[in-house]
């Protein structure tokens, strides 16, 4: 198995502490310069404890509240039970992912998005927005799976399901960038004696 399952409830203090000790999927786009809302530099400041991370935006709260309903619709549509899971790579202990859904046998993974903006963009383009590519490929790097389901859900609208294939060239480039980023974090922490 390319990963270890970590027994943590997402959103708890223990989960947040675990996330600070590695790089999560949602951080990949910032490291690669593909996140329109957060720069690599801003993420580095957060990881080094120089800036506070804000976890409570209205969009995030909506997504958190809506995700169980979205997951239930996904399970009904694909016929495979999935549950949230926290995974840590066995190859790189800093490579981590908090998954919205993973099947018990580890062969199917889903990333769920519930916001109106991502829903509209995905419904129109029939592919995930560019700023989510890093997150999806990071999850595939951790799980070693050939693909991931991108599930956009908005109450009252038909769900949008996009199958996203693994991109090994992208993953190779991403892992180099993430390893360099994590080394910077470790160097900073070592200098500060943390």
Q: Which tokens in the block code for residue 19?
A: 């996330």
Report the pLDDT averaged over residues 183-193: 93
Q: Where are the domains of the chain?
A: 3-192
Q: Which CATH class is domain 3-192?
A: alpha beta
What pTM does this model have?
0.96
Q: Which tokens in the block code for residue 138?
A: 């990071």
User: What is the rounded CA–CA span in Å between residue 160 and residue 157?
Assistant: 9
Q: Which tokens in the block code for residue 102?
A: 């993973």
Give per-residue pLDDT as tens, 79-107. 999 999 999 999 999 999 999 999 999 99
Give per-residue pLDDT as tens, 163-174. 999 999 999 999
Kindly list the strands in the beta sheet with 96-103, ordered across the sheet, starting from the edge strand earlier in the chain: 3-6, 82-89, 96-103, 109-113, 147-152, 160-165
Give per-residue pLDDT as tens, 135-159. 999 999 999 999 999 999 999 999 9
DSSP for the chain reads: --EEEE---TTSHHHHHHHHTSB-GGGHHHHTT--SS--HHHHHHHHTTSS------HHHHHHHHHHHHHHHHHHHHH---EEEEEEEESS-TTBEEEEEEEETTS--EEEEE--HHHHHHHHHHSS--GGGHHHHHHHHHHH--SEEEEEE--TTS--EEEEEE--HHHHHHHHHHHHHHHHHHHHHHHHHT-
Q: Which tokens in the block code for residue 106?
A: 């580890």
């Amino acid at each position: 198995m390319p990963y270890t399952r970590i027994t943590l409830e997402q959103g708890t203090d223990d989960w947040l502490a675990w996330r600070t000790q590695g790089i999560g999927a949602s951080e990949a786009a910032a490291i690669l310069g593909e996140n329109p809302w957060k720069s690599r530099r801003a993420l580095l400041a957060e990881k080094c404890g120089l800036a506070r991370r804000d976890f409570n935006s209205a969009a995030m709260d909506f997504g958190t509240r809506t995700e169980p309903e979205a997951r239930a619709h996904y399970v009904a549509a694909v016929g495979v039970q999935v549950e949230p899971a926290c995974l840590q790579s066995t190859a790189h202990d800093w490579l981590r992912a908090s998954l919205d859904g993973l099947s018990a046998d580890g062969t199917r993974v889903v990333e769920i998005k519930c916001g109106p903006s991502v829903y509209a963009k995905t419904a129109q383009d029939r592919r995930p927005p560019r700023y989510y590519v890093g997150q999806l490929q990071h999850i595939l790097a951790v799980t070693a799976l050939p693909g991931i389901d991108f599930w956009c859900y908005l109450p009252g609208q038909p769900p949008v399901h996009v199958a996203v294939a693994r991109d090994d060239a992208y993953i190779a480039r991403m892992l180099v960038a993430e390893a360099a980023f994590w080394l910077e974090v470790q160097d900073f922490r070592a200098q500060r004696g943390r």
